[in-house]
Amino acid sequence: MITDSKTIIVSNRLPVKITEENGVYILSPSEGGLATGLGSIYKNGNNIWIGWPGLEIPLERQDEVREKLAGLNLVPVFLSNEEISLYYEGFSNEVLWPVFHYLVTYANFEQLAWDYYKVVNDKFKAEVLKHLSADDVVWIHDYQLLLLPCLIRTTQPEITIGFFQHIPFPSFEIFRLIPWREELIAGMLGADLLGFHTFDDARHFLSAASRLSSSNLLDNVLIYKNRQVVVEAFPMGIDSDKFDSLTRHEKVAKYTNSFKASLKNVKTILTIDRLDYSKGILQRLQAFELLLEQHPEYIGKLALYMVVVPSRDTVPKYKELKDQIDQFVGNINARFRTINWVPIHYFYRSFSIEFLSAIYSTADICLVTPMRDGMNLVSKEYVASRTTDDGVLILSEMAGASRELTDALIVNPNNIGDIKEAIVKAVNMPPEEQNRRMRSMRAIVSKFNIHLWVKNFMDKLNEVKTMQESLHTK
Ligand code: G6P
């Protein structure tokens, strides 16, 4: 039974942005979904969130940053530029990220990057152990920390550990390509409960774990080193009430009015992604180009608003993608634009949540076509922002969200013709059909929200621990 314990959340990044202005560090809390959801946990009592502050802090200023963060229940793990380059950019984002998104040819299996991945996971372990008491619960997040569950378990065999992976888990045939596959599985099996977004991700993990470790599989439970490790799907939700009520904020209304005024009867398609090759941005641009080629009647009547949020632009594949997008957009705009209409409005920057709310609630269509995505929260944010029950979501079948949002127009992101047809269907969808589909998706997004996700995971972790304890006392 979990009693009067504290909870320690651990993730690569802290839920806060640190920027330096004139030598002063400024902290701004993150608006991200995970930060909101876990806010109900880490902000309470003695609970804490441990993670990297997102930039290199010189040794002489680390105490100052540590103190500032302590006021927010946050604990930093400081990383040197070398660690950032090899553990974060190198192993996390040049091995695990591409392989887990099925882009194996993008992976760079470098021994030194693996060595640093181990060193930094150890560094996280050392910070966790400084704060850990026997009754505590540790909840570790994502692929940057796959070794951490086992590292903690080795020192604290009885501790309660949950792990959630926010990106897909690939099929065994893909996962086995990683040279350090056994170590990664052993690392994850240090947890009591392992959560994934979809049933398929959980199934892929169970298959890889039962082949790569000496464990026995009973349904969704692995018996490993005399312990039970439970594996389950927990599809992550968003703070849907927040997105719903944001649409009524004064600031959002101002943005919405000026956005609408600028449109002049042009229908809008919206896309929002982090800069990432897993998001299918180039394929989507090809589909839009094909649409303009085959349906010249849309010239001057339909525009694509494309927001690309800068991300990992020190990793070579991301730099390359940025150049390709710039070129693609330039070509399409040069080829199809008219004196008073531009086909693609391209933004390479991030926006405030108020601005996002305005464009979500104004866009007639939201086009979400990742090649592979653990969940994809943009699709859910669009739905939660459609308080008037209209608008059409076009969604890739490769996004975890497609298992829940079955009333979207579901497409294969590799099928350019299919995406183009879906856009035509969306532009011409009668209002009644839009309303019917949107209402049913809104009910799902509202019910299976981020708060329920946190509760379900924590309740299950508690249940697993109670079950393990009762087995031990038998
Ligand atoms: C994905 C990952 C997160 C990560 C985020 C932003 O959503 O699942 O773990 O934090 O991308 O990427 P970044 O590399 O900037 O942390």
**441 alpha carbon to ligand 1 midpoint, in Å?**
26
pLDDT surpassing 90 at residue 404: yes
pLDDT surpassing 90 at residue 457: yes
Mean pLDDT value across residues 392-399? 98
Complex-level ipTM = 0.98
Atom of ligand 1 nearest to the CA of 167: 8
Mean pLDDT value across residues 330-354? 97
pLDDT of residue 441: 98
Identify the CA nearest to 159 among candidates 105, 227, 92.
227
Strands 267-274 and 365-368: parallel
Percent of the chain with pLDDT over 90: 92
Q: Residue 385 corresponds to which tokens in the numbers above? A: 């922002």
Mean pLDDT value across residues 394-413? 98
3-state DSSP assignment of residue 410: strand
Instruction: Match 């893909």 to its residue by tokens.
Output: 174
Dihedral angle over CA of 442, 448, 451, 456, nearest 10: 180
pLDDT surpassing 80 at residue 73: yes
Q: Give the integer Cα–Cα distance in Å for 472 and 474.
A: 6
Q: Is 166 in the pocket of ligand 1 (CB under 6 A)?
A: yes
Find the DSSP H helices in 78-135. 81-83, 97-100, 111-131
Q: Report the residue among 77, 141, 166 best suited for mutation to probe ligand 1: largest number of ligand atoms under 8 A from its CB.
A: 166
Q: Residue 261 corresponds to which tokens in the numbers above? A: 């005024």
Q: Is 13 in the pocket of ligand 1 (CB under 6 A)?
A: yes
pLDDT surpassing 60 at residue 453: yes
Supply the residue whose CA is at minimum distance from atom 9 of ligand 1: 142
230 Ramachandran zone, left/alpha/beta (phi>0; psi -120 to 50): beta
pLDDT in tens, 9-19: 999 999 998 98
- No. of helices (H) and no. of strands (E), the chain: 18, 17
Q: Residue 99 corresponds to which tokens in the numbers above? A: 């392989």
Mean pLDDT value across residues 75-85? 97
pLDDT of residue 31: 72
Q: Is 142 in the pocket of ligand 1 (CB under 6 A)?
A: yes
Atom of ligand 1 nearest to the CA of 142: 9
Supply the residue whose CA is at minimum distance from atom 10 of ligand 1: 13
Enumerate residues 6+ apart whose C-beta is below 8 A from 349: 307, 309, 310
pLDDT surpassing 70 at residue 266: yes
pLDDT of residue 2: 46
**What residues are labeled active site?**
166, 373
pLDDT in tens, 102-142: 999 999 999 999 999 999 999 999 999 999 999 999 999 99
**Residue 21 host element (H or E):** strand 16-21
**12 alpha carbon to ligand 1 midpoint, in Å?**
8
Q: Residue 3 corresponds to which tokens in the numbers above? A: 């009693």
Full-model pTM: 0.96
End-to-end CA distance of the chain: 15
Identify the CA nearest to 401 among candidates 414, 386, 417, 384.
384
Q: Give the integer Cα–Cα distance in Å for 451 and 378.
A: 17
Atom of ligand 1 nearest to the CA of 141: 9
pLDDT surpassing 60 at residue 3: no
The rounded mean pLDDT for the chain is: 96
Q: Is 30 in the pocket of ligand 1 (CB under 6 A)?
A: no
**114 alpha carbon to ligand 1 midpoint, in Å?**
19
Atom of ligand 1 nearest to the CA of 144: 9
Atom of ligand 1 nearest to the CA of 311: 15
One-letter amino acid of 103: L
Q: Answer whether 17's CB lies under 8 Å from 11's CB.
A: no
Q: Is 181 in the pocket of ligand 1 (CB under 6 A)?
A: no
**432 alpha carbon to ligand 1 midpoint, in Å?**
37
**218 alpha carbon to ligand 1 midpoint, in Å?**
32
pLDDT of residue 474: 64
Q: Give the integer Cα–Cα distance in Å for 371 and 379.
A: 14
Instruction: Match 């990106």 to its residue by tokens.
Output: 167
pLDDT band at 1 (very low <50, low <70, confident <90, very high): very low
